Structure 1
Amino acid sequence: MKKFLTFSAIAIAIIVVLAGTLFFFMRKQTKSYSPEESATYADGDLKIDVIYNRPFKKNRDVFGALVPFDTVWRTGANEATTFETTKELKFDGKTLPKGKYSLWTIPRKDSWTIIFNSEFGQWGVNFEGQANRDAARDVLKFDVPVLASPQPIEQFTISFEKTGEDAEMVLIWDTTLVAAPFSY
């Protein structure tokens, strides 16, 4: 009986080490194709942190193909994009309370829906390849128009721009630019 317990403990330890190594290797490989990045905006006591993964275009058609129109997108690659703010923000006249959220979008040819969801930390897609988002936990949704980028952008990018007293979150990839203005 003692031999069996010792053998079982060693087998479990080996499985745990192998699983941990496999997880680390797969995460590192995945991140090499779409590296993790952060975008930060700070003004006075407001700080916004966005953590996302930046896929590359790689000569592919992006919006309407790689990222289908009218379908919820994790707004990047790998894990769902996270958005954290230290103050309440106003998007399209609607209030986003201070806190941490996942950021989702629904790209369309002429407009995008921006979605802030109270669940965060999950992988961006489920086993069926659909967005891993519980729509019942959506906190804020609004639409913004699509603009043409002056030149194609190879890697998906999120940034912030100060616009007078307000600011905007800019999402840009390929020839698509979306700006979500906000006040605080």
Structure 2
Amino acid sequence: MKKVVAILVLVFSMFLGTNVVSAQEFEKLNKSPMDAASYPSSYRETDKVVKVIYSRPQLKGRKINRLIRNGKIWRTGANEATEITFYKDVEIAGKPVKAGTYTLYTIPGDDEWTIIINSALNVWGSYMYNESEDVVRVKGKVTKGQESLEAFSVAFTGEDENFTMHLGWGTTRVSVPFKG
């Protein structure tokens, strides 16, 4: 009888354990992982001017113009709209922006992209984009890179208070000057 009870307890605990484990379901890995870029770029520099948090869509053999459309608002990445935080007041292409967290949208074009700093936060994609919430719009120059970037990327270069934000995907490169 003790063996039967022990077996029943063991079998029951296995079923109970299975239910507990299956209740802890985790989502699969995101195909457009989140990333961040900041200026100054070095991890040793703690006094940051700006930080961009974005998701990185992948080309996967597709052309950029099949994924983002010229003349149409884009969330500047994948998933949630890209967020940009300024830790102090800055100028973007000569236009002032106060310290704070904003959404970064873009409107792609062949020769230039419109870079939009928008006050909306916690926004998914660009579905809820509202132009009346724009803080500033500037133009970013488009150039072509030598190598193709599989994943959309953001990077910063510069010296001291003069720096440039670079957006890159495929062979498309967009640069926007900052001062801060």
User: What TM-score, normalized by structure 1, do the two folds share?
Assistant: 0.77
Q: What's the counterpart of residue 3 of structure 1?
A: none
Residue number among 162, 174, 177 corresponding to 1:178 in the alignment = 174
8 Å Cα contact 2:38-2:48 kept in structure 1: no
| Matching residue's letter, 1:92 | A
Partner of 2:158: helix, strand, or coil? strand
Q: What's the counterpart of residue 18 of structure 2?
A: none
Q: What's the counterpart of residue 75 of structure 1?
A: 76
* Structure 2 Cα separation of the partners of residues 164 and 99 of structure 1: 20
* Structure 1 Cα separation of the partners of residues 51 and 161 of structure 2: 19
Partner of 1:39: helix, strand, or coil? strand
* Alignment partner of 1:152 is 2:148: yes
| Matching residue's letter, 2:97 | L
* Alignment partner of 1:136 is 2:132: yes
User: What TM-score, normalized by structure 2, do the two folds share?
Assistant: 0.79
| Matching residue's letter, 1:145 | K
* Structure 1 Cα separation of the partners of residues 78 and 46 of structure 2: 31
Q: What's the counterpart of residue 50 of structure 2?
A: 48
* Structure 1 Cα separation of the partners of residues 118 and 69 of structure 2: 20
- Map 1:89-104 to 2 at 5 A: 89-104=90-105
Distance 1:69 1:140, change over 3 A: same
* Structure 1 residue 46: Cα displacement: 4.1
Distance 1:61 1:122, change over 3 A: same
Per-residue displacement from partner, 1:10-69 (whole Å, max 9, x unpaired)? xxxxxxxxxxx8xx85xx44x62100111121378443111100011100011x321011
* Structure 2 Cα separation of the partners of residues 38 and 144 of structure 1: 20
Residue number among 166, 169, 177 corresponding to 2:165 in the alignment = 169
* Structure 1 Cα separation of the partners of residues 32 and 176 of structure 2: 23
* Structure 2 Cα separation of the partners of residues 38 and 46 of structure 1: 13
* Alignment partner of 1:61 is 2:59: no
- Map 1:99-118 to 2 at 5 A: 99-118=100-119
* Structure 1 residue 160: Cα displacement: 0.8
| Matching residue's letter, 1:95 | P
What runs of 5+ residues in structure 1 fail to find an aligned partner? 1-20, 127-131
* Structure 1 residue 164: Cα displacement: 6.2
Mark the structure with the bigger radius of gyration.
Answer: 2
What runs of 5+ residues in structure 2 fail to find an aligned partner? 1-22
| Matching residue's letter, 1:49 | K
